[in-house]
Structure 1
Amino acid sequence: MEIKPIALFLSALVTLVVGFIWYNPKVFGTIWMRENNLTQEELRKGNMLKIFGLTYIFSLMITVTLMSLTIHQTGAIGMVGGPPLIDSAKPSFAAFMADYGMAYRTFKHGALHGFMSGLLFAFPIIGINGLFERKSWKYIFIHAGFWVITLTLMGGIICAYA
């Protein structure tokens, strides 16, 4: 199983693309700003190169995790000690990979796992933080919705093309 890094780099862009749409004032941006007591002027003062650069780096970190959640064959490769030890694996590993090496490697399957990650992992984390920070449910649902959509798309891309 060969991993295509370009798919991981492209998948990491999803957070930025979805964010541009999701947090646009015509979508959820106005509500998000109101829930955070922010204005357009305050947002313009941020160091955008730093914000977008770090967002992309964090997104790359997410792709690594999603790869293990969406591509089931990574578990089989891990069982033999990882890519450096594939050549010395037992014949049963080669037989398994010949039979199942590309099983469930579709956008639909990856999107399902990405959706589940968003709903069952990201949403609870955002919810817990929001509750302790005394944020509104609007705030929680806006952020959780963003991550559910983003992780769904990222998971689909990673599973189908990485």
Structure 2
Amino acid sequence: MEMNWIALLVSAVSTLLIGFVWYHPKVFGTVWMKETGLTPEELAKGNMLKIFGLTYVFSVMITFMVMSLSVHQSGALGMIGGSTKINEALPSFTAFMNDYGTAFRTYKHGALHGFITGLFFAFPVIAINGLFERKSWKYIFIHAGYWIVTLTIMGCIICGWV
């Protein structure tokens, strides 16, 4: 199983594209600004190249985690010591990969794992931080919703783009 770098890089772009829509003033942007206490003028002062550039770098990092959660064949590779050990693997590994190497490699399966990751990992992390920071539930649900949708799309792209 080879890593699909294009799928990972495109999936990382999805965080920005979904964010442009999600945090747009006509969607959740106005409510989000109110909940954070930010104004459009304050937001305009930020270094957008730095913010979007680092967001993309962090998003690429996230794609590796989403891939390991949604593409089950990476677990099979881990059992033999990684992709560098394929030539040393027993014939049973080759037979297993021939039979199941593309099992559950669909957009739908990736979306399921992305959604579960968002709901059971991102949401609790955001909620815990929000509670300690004394943020409102609106704030928590806006951010958690963004990550649930984003991780669902990321899983969809990574797992389905075979």
TM-score normalised by structure 2 residue count: 0.99
Partner residue in 1 for 2:18 = 18
Partner residue in 1 for 2:127 = 127
Count of residue pairs the alignment pairs up = 162
Q: Separation in 2 of the partners of 1:93 and 1:67?
A: 21
- 5+ residue gaps in structure 2? none
What are the residue-to-residue correspondences of 1:10-159 with 2, within 5 Å?
A: 10-159=10-159
Which string of whole-angstrom CA distances, capped at 9 and with x for unpartnered residues, describes residues 112-135 of structure 1?
000000000000000000000000
**Aligned-residue offset at 1:72:** 0.2
Cα RMSD (Å) of the superposition? 0.6
* AA in 2 matched with 1:36: T
Q: Percent identity?
A: 69
**Aligned-residue offset at 1:56:** 0.1
Q: Separation in 2 of the partners of 1:90 and 1:31?
A: 57
* AA in 2 matched with 1:111: A
Q: Separation in 2 of the partners of 1:76 and 1:110?
A: 17
